[in-house]
Amino acid sequence: DAGVIQSPRHEVTEMGQEVTLRCKPISGHDYLFWYRQTMMRGLELLIYFNNNVPIDDSGMPEDRFSAKMPNASFSTLKIQPSEPRDSAVYFCASSFFSDTQYFGPGTRLTVL
Amino acid sequence: RKEVEQDPGPFNVPEGATVAFNCTYSNSASQSFFWYRQDCRKEPKLLMSVYSSGNEDGRFTAQLNRASQYISLLIRDSKLSDSATYLCVVYTGTASKLTFGTGTRLQVTL
């Protein structure tokens, strides 16, 4: 059974460019979470959805970040414009109930 | 004060040793507790849930003390493959979200 799928696995871009990260949750899961991980701040929750509806986006750092979940099998996290301080590993996770979460392999983003 | 606090380590232990990690959490309304394991450049993976009665999975034992808001993980007979970062995780149902500690790094050596 496939786990959470994320793409791309690595992204290198220049400051000011738009970045779109993609996630396919585990089939049947009704919660989807976006996290960011850095050495300095650890793992931070950015936003999460329940049944495709955004529930809590208080972790989204600023208006440059946006996330959508148009259907139960797909979500995107967009950064526009990107900045060097956005460099991090971005994880998507999904769960059936919100406590036991399964993580994707992550997207390693580098903004030059 | 951070919601979930852990000693970052690293803990350097020889193979076969017993090692214990501790974690404290600040929200007394927290409902569920977990240990996740994260290997270098990989995603976090659920290691085990933590119950008030304590639970054991092979060489791993987890304990929860709600009165002290304290969680522990004990690893017996450490293996080289146990080298990883161990994340203490707390679930608060009212917010429907997990809060992760910054992790404790374990390095098991020959």
| pLDDT value, residue A18 | 97
Mean of all residue pLDDT scores within chain A: 94
Residue B41 neighbours by CB under 8 Å, 6+ apart: none
CA pair distance B90, B99, nearest whole angstrom = 5
**pLDDT above 80 for A90:** yes
Amino acid A38 reads: T
Residue pair A21/A9 in contact (Cβ under 8 Å)? The answer is: no
Q: What is the secondary structure of B18-71 as a DSSP string?
A: -EEEEEEES-TT--EEEEEEE-TTS-EEEEEEE-TT-EEETTEEEEEETTTTEE
- Interval A30-88: pLDDT, tens: 999 999 999 888 899 999 999 999 999 999 988 999 999 999 999 999 999 999 999 99
Amino acid A53 reads: V
| B2/A contact by beta carbon, under 8 A | no
Mean pLDDT in runs of 10 for chain B (110 residues)?
88 96 92 94 94 89 93 97 96 80 95
Cα atoms in the 13 Å half-sphere on the side-chain side of A31: 20
- Residues of chain B contacting A102 with CB distance shorter than 8 Å: 46
Q: Which two tokens stand for residue B66?
A: 């709600």
- Band of pLDDT at residue A91, cut at 50, 70 and 90: very high
Interface test with B, best of A43, A51, A102 (most B CBs within 10 A): A43
